[in-house]
Chains A and B, each alone.
Chain A
Amino acid sequence: QSVLTQPPSVSGAPGQRVIISCTGGTSNIWAGYDVHWYQQFPGAAPKLLIYGNNKRPSGVPDRFSASKSGTSASLAITGLQADDEADYYCQSYDSTLSGPGWVFGGGTKLTVL
């Protein structure tokens, strides 16, 4: 059970827009810790897609955007392309008294129909 909750899968047709949600709680996202997003292709290492809630590293297309509000964050992909098909993970910091540390969502598999 991940501290951050993501839908196991989302899908969309080429050209469409999809949104992946990441739901946390009062000890992580709502507490003000930033949310970051990673893209992972099968057999490869995760790659940073979004950092600091909504910032794109150099080289990441502006088709990828993200936001954070309350206890949740979301990643939006517009103009869906076949090579966007991958797993996507959100990540933040959790300050729970029982054990602080960096946490990931359970991951969302994006299928391009």
Chain B
Amino acid sequence: QITLKESGPTLVKPTETLTLTCSFSGFSLSTRGMGVAWIRQPPGKALEWLALIYWDDDKRYSPSLKSRLTITKDTSRNQVVLTMTNMDPMDTATYHCAHTTWELLSNWFDPWGPGMLVTVSS
């Protein structure tokens, strides 16, 4: 059974850098085909894909946020870390990590972590 859980600060100030950790079990990011994605959802709004990292360290970023995002993995600790620089109140959202597999870009996300609400406010 695959499970994921997000952790990190629930409140950050504008211009600060957000660091979120996804801790997972039930699969290994050293296994061919495995991946972890980050997806966010502002309150009352739609889902937005942010970043994805594969078993081979291939990294993909949302074009609109690419300059602010970094995704890394720690295979030995079964963790994926997302950093987002220069946080703005518009970045207030619930941040989810999700398991994915390499499917010739036709990836789906399953399962998802419960998510954590990150509020950006001074």
User: Size of chain A's interface in residues, with CB distance under 8 A?
Assistant: 28
User: In chain B between 4 and 37, which residues have their CB closer than 8 angstroms to a CB of chain A?
Assistant: 37
Please report the C-alpha to C-alpha distance between residue A79 and residue B39 in the assembled complex, in whole angstroms: 31
Contact B103 A2 (CB under 8 A): no
Stretch from B76-84, B85-93, B110-118 contacting the other chain: B110-118
Contact A100 B63 (CB under 8 A): yes
Contact B108 A91 (CB under 8 A): yes
Report, as a range, how many residues of chain B touch the other chain.
20 to 34
User: In chain A between 39 and 94, which residues have their CB closer than 8 angstroms to a CB of chain B?
Assistant: 44-48, 51-52, 57, 89, 91-93
Contact B47 A45 (CB under 8 A): no
Contact B49 A104 (CB under 8 A): yes
- B37–chain A nearest beta-carbon distance, Å: 7
Contact A34 B64 (CB under 8 A): no
**Residues of A in contact with B (beta carbons under 8 Å apart):** 2, 33-34, 36, 38, 44-48, 51-52, 57, 89, 91-93, 95, 98-107
**Residues of B in contact with A (beta carbons under 8 Å apart):** 37, 39, 46-49, 52, 60-64, 66, 96, 103, 105-115
Jot down 5 A-B pairs with beta carbons below 8 A, ordered by A. A52-B108, A93-B105, A98-B63, A103-B49, A104-B49
